[in-house]
Amino acid sequence: MTKDYLKEYDAAAEADKYPLVQKWMKTEPLPFFKQLRAERPVLVTPECTLLALFTDIRDCLQMPKIFTVDLYKPKMGVTDTDEGYLMAHDDDALHYREKSIMQGMLNRDDLPRVREGIRKSAQKILDDANGRLDIVDNYTRMVPALMVQEYFGLDGIDPKKLLKWSFWNQYNTFHNQPFDLNSKEKYDHIVSEHGKCSVELVDYITVLMVRKILTVKIKDRILGTGLKVLNVLRAICKKDPVVLKDDIVKRMLRTSFAEQVDFPLTRIGTNAGGLLIGSVETTSQAVAQVIQYFIDRPELLVKAKAASRQEDTAAIDALVWEALRFVPISPYMFRQTSEDYTIAKGTDRETAIPKGTNVLTLTQSAMFDTYAYDNPDDFNPDRNWYHNFNYGFASHDCLGKYVGMAMIPEMVRQIMLRDDLKAVLDMDYEDGPFPEKYELSWK
């Protein structure tokens, strides 16, 4: 018999209602969301309002000035004197300008090269492991950290520091909000660890900027003249030109912006930090959860292994995206309303949401809504990508999504290619929001 979540919810004391919702979202999201979609698609709890239907979620995420990311502001450096990171801005000049500049910097033509880099670092880590590895710190976190160093250019530092900075930043921003119900002690601890990491990150970025500016402005100029001559000779001999080493930080520094574009060095530094923060913990969680999803389902594991052996990566990519619908890195994105708004006007579920309400858009529920998905409970890798919310939606959709779309399946693929793959121990979250340990063995 299917469980009646709403009956239990309605019978619960006021103070117990949201904790129940939180528990179900963590432990049994799919049947809970199914009942919400069918019976109460807008659930108003004492802590926040939950939206369960595809159309309401799409509607909400398309109105960033009304459904704002204000809850990000204190976590992303926004103060009276500092604009902080672009992600904490809603459809304003800074967000529009910096997001588009950064989208251009992360040139999608780089992706084959990025994927090849991921393949090499992943293979090396697995080859060196001799058939047994706790994949979280050593692989699912380390491979994106190496990408951050090599492609994004946040180099010259122990990658473990990058892991730590990404971890506390993501923890504080996405899992230390009012609706996470953390104790005051836990809340303060996370804020304090994030604070320490921010100081270290700013110091590191400052030194990095100076070092890279020197490289770009001095070394490039000296080498550049020599290279021009050399490349004329190489062209005559029909050889490929020699090019200066490129990464995203260098690329930003080599680009000159008119003053009116308003993208000074300080903003380049902030955006370089953002690349790191967004990359590591998100990728780690997605990769670890998809690998577990495959390993726990022998029939699917056979398919994933067969797809991984193909030179064309389309099949494994599709399997990975479909798996992420079942095990996304979060079942929701959150917003805060800046004014009163009535959602789903003219329908049975029409609900007035007062200004200042925290809203959870249950994006995982949206990915199981029959409005957008046929037979949503079936695992079907052949789905319409445009209905997928794993990289967010509309103006705040993920800046790194195309990098992630190359990196995540390639990392899963390299694990799938190992023979006799087994989980030695179950995945352990150690009571936190992210996978912390997952030991695998292979031949």
Task: Name the site residues for ligand HEM (rule: CB under 6 A).
Answer: 69, 86-87, 99, 274-275, 278-279, 282-283, 286, 329, 333, 390-392, 396, 398-400, 403-404, 408
Which residue is closest to ligand HEM by CB? 400
Q: How many CB atoms sit inside 10 A of residue 143's CB?
A: 30
- Nearest to ligand HEM of 289, 308 (CB atom): 289
- Nearest to ligand HEM of 62, 192 (CB atom): 62
Please report, for residues 110, 160, 327, 406, the alpha-carbon distance to residue 155 in angstroms, rounded to integers and kept in the order given: 19, 12, 32, 21
Question: Least distance from C-beta 271 to ligand HEM, angstroms?
Answer: 8
Beta bridge partners of 437: 428
Locate 228 and state its tokens: 């021009």
User: Are the C-beta atoms of 155 and 149 separated by less than 8 Å?
Assistant: yes
Q: How many CB atoms sit inside 10 A of residue 371's CB?
A: 12
Locate 22 and state its tokens: 């939180």
Question: Least distance from C-beta 111 to ligand HEM, angstroms?
Answer: 11
Q: Is 417 helix (H, G, I), strand (E, B) or coil?
A: coil
- Nearest to ligand HEM of 97, 234 (CB atom): 97
Question: Least distance from C-beta 61 to ligand HEM, angstroms?
Answer: 7
Q: In what order do the strands lie in the sheet with 67-68?
A: 42-44, 49-51, 358-361, 333-337, 67-68
- Nearest to ligand HEM of 205, 403 (CB atom): 403
Locate 269 and state its tokens: 């530094």
Distance between CA atoms of residues 441 and 435, nearest Å: 17
- Nearest to ligand HEM of 74, 392 (CB atom): 392
Question: Least distance from C-beta 13 to ligand HEM, angstroms?
Answer: 32
User: Are the C-beta atoms of 331 and 368 separated by less than 8 Å?
Assistant: no
Question: Least distance from C-beta 139 to ligand HEM, angstroms?
Answer: 15
- Nearest to ligand HEM of 177, 308 (CB atom): 177
Distance between CA atoms of residues 369 and 38, nearest Å: 10
Question: Least distance from C-beta 277 to ligand HEM, angstroms?
Answer: 8
Question: Least distance from C-beta 186 to ligand HEM, angstroms?
Answer: 22
- Nearest to ligand HEM of 281, 369 (CB atom): 281
